[in-house]
């Protein structure tokens, strides 16, 4: 048997460095100083007697053995998380720490309404939140960095378990008086492809908006320039185009203080499905089902 076993913390440092490819960024993600992370990795290599990472001023490159160790470390960390989940699940329902990623087109609109009530009704729950795009959030889920993800479908969630929260209709937003007498709903063929502003690549709402229109030419011509829905609203308010907004954002008051007008898109695909996702067969599945119930009640 080996006389030395790596610590969980050392494996977390190694996986973080592999993910971020930069010591500073890996340290930030691990909530430690860069010197602490570097020292932990040097100790790991020293006690194992191998080089896992080739270091230079500009490049962090893992050795072939290092890549194998990272793959094994990911599996070990996930199993360690499952062990902690097993213990957590044996206690009071929906209590203790629960780490949740939320996508940016949901977080600012749902959380302010949901968190006060959740804190009041579930005082023993310590919810740790992080905002990530759908792809990054599911990566965090698969690597055990979070316990569950609040996101919107359609999106490929792999083999994650999911619970339906709500359907969220999509609206077209345009400057006041443009058109002067807007209809009660907007058909996709009425949308001016040359003026459509959407979120930049990486935000799933962009794909949801394009799917709602069901017009292939929009995918090529729509301007992907927004970094947030609030930015898009300001662009529309200054008569620079039109955009697509989820009903959730409208109910949260995203148009307050603007002259932007919004109408629902007249299409059966003009909606997204809000879901809670977690790792399949997680010991805390009952907690996630309870959390989904709380979210639906919000």
Structural domain harbouring 39: 8-87
pLDDT at 193 over 80: no
Are 157 and 197 part of one and the same domain? Answer: no
Number of domains in the chain: 3
Residue 3 lies inside a defined structural domain of this protein:
no
pLDDT at 146 over 60: yes
Are 178 and 102 part of one and the same domain? Answer: no
Q: How confident is the model at residue 202 (pLDDT cuts 50, 70, 90)?
A: low
Q: From the CB of residue 123, how many other CB atoms can be counted at a distance below 10 Å?
A: 9
What is the model's pLDDT at position 218? 55
* First CA to last CA distance, the chain: 53
| Residues 46-51: contacts with CB under 8 Å, at least 24 apart | 47/4, 47/6, 48/4, 48/6
Residue 181 lies inside a defined structural domain of this protein:
yes
Residue 124 lies inside a defined structural domain of this protein:
yes
Residue 210 lies inside a defined structural domain of this protein:
yes
Distance CA(276)–CA(151), nearest Å, equals: 7
Reduced to 3 states, what is the DSSP secondary structure of residue 172?
strand
Are 65 and 156 part of one and the same domain? Answer: no
Residue 2 lies inside a defined structural domain of this protein:
no
Are 159 and 277 part of one and the same domain? Answer: yes
Are 176 and 157 part of one and the same domain? Answer: no
Are 201 and 181 part of one and the same domain? Answer: yes
Residue 1 lies inside a defined structural domain of this protein:
no
Are 149 and 277 part of one and the same domain? Answer: yes
Residue 31 lies inside a defined structural domain of this protein:
yes
Are 190 and 44 part of one and the same domain? Answer: no
CATH number at residue 200: 3.40.190.10
Are 153 and 277 part of one and the same domain? Answer: yes
pLDDT tens digits, one per residue of 44-56: 999 888 999 988 7
pLDDT at 179 over 80: no
Distance CA(273)–CA(58), nearest Å, equals: 42
What is the model's pLDDT at position 277? 97
What is the model's pLDDT at position 167? 94
Are 32 and 46 part of one and the same domain? Answer: yes
Are 278 and 265 part of one and the same domain? Answer: no
Are 61 and 178 part of one and the same domain? Answer: no
Distance CA(198)–CA(176), nearest Å, equals: 19
Q: Which of 8-12, 131-135, 197-201 has the lowest mean pLDDT?
A: 197-201
Mean pLDDT confidence for 92-101: 84
pTM of the shown model: 0.72
pLDDT at 101 over 60: yes
Q: Which of 89-98, 131-140, 240-249, 260-269 has the lowest mean pLDDT?
A: 89-98
Note whether 206 and 224 are within 8 A (CB).
yes
CATH number at residue 78: 1.10.10.10
Residue 185 lies inside a defined structural domain of this protein:
yes
């Amino acid at each position: 048997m080996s006389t030395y076993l790596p610590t969980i913390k050392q494996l977390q440092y190694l996986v973080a460095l592999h993910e971020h490819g930069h010591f500073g960024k890996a340290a930030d993600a691990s909530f430690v100083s860069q010197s602490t992370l570097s020292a932990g990795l040097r100790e790991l290599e020293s006690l194992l007697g191998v080089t896992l990472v080739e270091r230079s001023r500009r490049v962090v490159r893992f050795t072939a053995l290092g890549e194998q160790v990272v793959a094994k470390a990911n599996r070990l960390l996930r199993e360690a998380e499952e062990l902690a989940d097993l213990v957590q699940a044996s206690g009071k329902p929906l209590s203790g720490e629960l780490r949740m990623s939320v996508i940016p087109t949901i977080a600012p609109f749902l959380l302010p309404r949901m968190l006060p009530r959740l804190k009041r009704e579930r005082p023993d729950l310590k919810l740790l939140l992080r905002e990530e795009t759908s792809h990054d959030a599911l990566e965090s889920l698969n690597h055990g960095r979070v316990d569950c993800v609040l996101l919107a479908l359609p999106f490929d969630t792999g083999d994650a378990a999911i619970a339906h929260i709500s359907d969220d209709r999509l609206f077209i937003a345009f400057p006041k008086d443009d058109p002067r007498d807007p209809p009660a709903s907007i058909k996709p063929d009425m949308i001016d492809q040359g003026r459509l502003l959407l979120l930049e690549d990486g935000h799933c709402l962009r794909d949801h908006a394009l799917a709602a229109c069901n017009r292939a030419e929009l995918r090529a011509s729509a301007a992907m320039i927004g970094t947030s829905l609030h930015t898009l609203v300001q662009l529309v308010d200054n008569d620079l185009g039109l955009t697509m907004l989820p009903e959730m954002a409208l109910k949260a008051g995203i148009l307050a203080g603007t002259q932007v007008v919004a109408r629902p898109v007249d299409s059966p695909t003009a909606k997204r499905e809000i879901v809670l996702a977690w790792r399949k067969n997680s010991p805390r599945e009952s907690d996630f089902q309870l959390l989904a119930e709380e979210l639906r009640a919000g």
